[in-house]
A and B are shown apart, each in its own frame.
Chain A
Amino acid sequence: MDQTDWLKQFEKVGRFLRLGMEALGSVELVNSIDLLIAKLPELQPSLASDIQVLLSLALSAQERKDYLYVADLLEYEIAPRLQ
């Protein structure tokens, strides 16, 4: 997956979550996280560590149903770092 693909993937999740389509958003979020976790070993350790922190924030936000913040973290924090 290149940068454009990551952004598209995260925008897809974000779009569902911003629309209130929680079920579809959650399915796509799980897919995204699976892809991201598989990607982590390929990244520079410091970058992987940053992304793990952000991912942890996103998962906490998801747990409290703060879905717009999940979308923000994916689209505006994690995606740019994968460039």
Chain B
Amino acid sequence: MYFEQNLKLISERWPQLAERLHKTSDPEQVELVIDAPEITLLINGIHLSSCYDRLREARIQAELVPEGSTLAHVYGLATGDLPRLLLSRSELKELNVLVMSLAVARASLAYLDHSDWLTNPRVNLLMASSESDLQFPFACASATLSLADDGGARIRDLLYLELATPYISLQHQSLEEELRERMRQNSDYVDRDQSVSVLFSSLQGKDIYIAAAGPTLSESFHLLAAQREKIFLIAVDASVAPLTRAGFIPDLVISIDAAPHLFDLFFAEIDPVKYSEVSLVYFPIAEKMLLERWPGQRFLAYSQNKLYDDLVKIHPQGCLFASGSVLHSAIDLAVKMGASRIYLAGADFSFPKGQSHAEGCAAHLDVKDARLASYWVLNGRGERVPSCQNFRGYLRDLERYLALHPDLEFINCSLEGAKIEGTLSLESGG
């Protein structure tokens, strides 16, 4: 066992981290795998490294750090192979190794000798929980993505997001022609509708309430009811039905999705008379039926997606932030309209109460299948709540956006959904 030896080395250079490692409990299950070609650890059912060829695996992981880099970051110390391999590069002057889980690090330090790289003067050992964003160039001991603790969760999600970028690009490419056809079908509307930019700065200093479609949407309906006369209500498309059923008619609806049958799914029940004064902000890939049947005024918006590059040149329009979720665009619209305080309702990025969406939303599901919710995020109470990969990515992209607007007040109306960095809770801020 190597724990005392490894911990002594750490305490000499990083005493605070050593103290935390000392106080941390062991993982629930730790097994030293010795009946395989190479020794590794099995922690809570996850192999910390290959048990056939650890060096080859570390070489693959190290490929993310370009040759010649003088600085690199390693997320997860795992079995120590990755830092060890990167340190063999003579040109590397500084290596920051970030602990993604204290318990996993403790187990690895207990069973494996890390002294060679821990004593290397080029190494800094840090907690991922103390980092606000990813650092580049990086390599990742990928098992630690499945084993990150609560403190490492945010960096874990940012790593997933970064590492999923090639996949997301492929997905976008595969849909591009279909989306261009959708834009061609909508060209009459795109040509004649006003830009969303005419709405910008129209609500300077006002409060805006954004209704997303998460399960906790209804939690703050009392607030909405009390302030409805003086608060501007933006609804994302999927929240229209739950709002309508609760007696609320939004001032503006936003829809950026290209999904087919979106009108039937989210808008089939709306009363055209009641919605005749409600504005619609849409992206050019919207389902045509939505544009044809919308009873109120329409406003055209874009994102920075290259899909819109040509259209932007012909029809310069207002651009809204979008990174997978309509909520991103709704919030950016509220910011650009001039709101000083923005309430986020149903912005859950998770499955609180075992539900996928707000009651009354056509997409609502009981999320009983563990495979649908096999990931987690921390909620406003610091508890783990089931989530999925996409939600976690949307959440972290939103947090990055909010960090660009420290002068504005964002209020998360629920503690049951994901904790959103950069927001206040209704209790503390509302």
Interface residues of A (CB under 8 A from B): 15, 17-24, 27, 63-69, 71-72, 75-76
- The reply on B164 being an interface residue by CB < 8 A is yes
Answer whether A22 and B164 are a contact pair too, CB < 8 Å, given A65-B146, A68-B57. yes
Interface size, chain B (Cβ < 8 Å): 31
- The reply on B142 being an interface residue by CB < 8 A is yes
- The reply on B49 being an interface residue by CB < 8 A is yes
CA distance A34 to B53 in the complex (A): 26
CA distance A72 to B52 in the complex (A): 7
Q: Which residues of chain B come closer than 8 Å to A17, judged between CB atoms?
A: 142
Interface residues of B (CB under 8 A from A): 37, 45-53, 57, 60-61, 63-64, 140, 142-143, 145-146, 159-160, 163-164, 166-168, 170, 371, 374, 389
The answer to whether B45 and A20 touch across the interface, beta carbons within 8 angstroms, is no
Decide if the interface of chain B is mainly helix, strand, loop or mixed. mixed
The answer to whether B50 and A71 touch across the interface, beta carbons within 8 angstroms, is yes
The answer to whether B163 and A19 touch across the interface, beta carbons within 8 angstroms, is yes
The answer to whether A21 and B164 touch across the interface, beta carbons within 8 angstroms, is yes
Shortest 10 CB-CB contacts between residues of A and residues of B: A20-B142, A23-B167, A65-B146, A76-B52, A69-B47, A64-B45, A24-B167, A20-B140, A23-B164, A66-B46
A12: shortest Cβ distance to chain B, in Å? 11
Answer whether A68 and B61 are a contact pair too, CB < 8 Å, given A20-B163, A23-B167. no
The answer to whether B163 and A18 touch across the interface, beta carbons within 8 angstroms, is no
The answer to whether A21 and B57 touch across the interface, beta carbons within 8 angstroms, is no
CA distance A67 to B141 in the complex (A): 12
The answer to whether B146 and A66 touch across the interface, beta carbons within 8 angstroms, is yes
A49: shortest Cβ distance to chain B, in Å? 22
Closest A residue, CB atoms, query B370: A63
Other-chain residue from A22, A24, A68 in contact with B50 (beta carbon distance below 8 A): A68
Q: Which residues of chain B come closer than 8 Å to A75, judged between CB atoms?
A: 52
The answer to whether A19 and B142 touch across the interface, beta carbons within 8 angstroms, is yes
A41: shortest Cβ distance to chain B, in Å? 28
The answer to whether A19 and B46 touch across the interface, beta carbons within 8 angstroms, is no
The answer to whether B163 and A21 touch across the interface, beta carbons within 8 angstroms, is yes
A66: shortest Cβ distance to chain B, in Å? 5
The answer to whether B160 and A65 touch across the interface, beta carbons within 8 angstroms, is no
Q: Which residues of chain B come closer than 8 Å to A27, judged between CB atoms?
A: 167
The answer to whether B47 and A21 touch across the interface, beta carbons within 8 angstroms, is no
Scoring B53, B142, B167, B389 by chain A CB atoms within 10 A of each residue's CB, the highest score goes to B142
The answer to whether A68 and B143 touch across the interface, beta carbons within 8 angstroms, is yes
List 17 interface pairs A-B (beta carbons < 8 Å), by A numbering.
A19-B163, A20-B142, A22-B145, A22-B163, A22-B164, A27-B167, A66-B45, A66-B46, A66-B47, A66-B146, A68-B48, A68-B50, A71-B50, A72-B47, A72-B50, A72-B51, A72-B52
Q: Which residues of chain A come closer than 8 Å to B64, judged between CB atoms?
A: 19
The answer to whether B160 and A20 touch across the interface, beta carbons within 8 angstroms, is yes
Q: Which residues of chain A come closer than 8 Å to B164, judged between CB atoms?
A: 21-24
Answer whether A18 and B146 are a contact pair too, CB < 8 Å, given A71-B50, A72-B47, A72-B52. no
Answer whether A24 and B143 are a contact pair too, CB < 8 Å, given A64-B45, A66-B47, A72-B52. no
Q: Which residues of chain A come closer than 8 Å to B37, judged between CB atoms?
A: 76
Q: Which residues of chain A come closer than 8 Å to B50, judged between CB atoms?
A: 18, 68, 71-72
Closest B residue, CB atoms, query A60: B45
CA distance A62 to B226 in the complex (A): 49
CA distance A15 to B58 in the complex (A): 11
Q: Which residues of chain B come closer than 8 Å to A19, judged between CB atoms?
A: 60-61, 63-64, 140, 142, 163
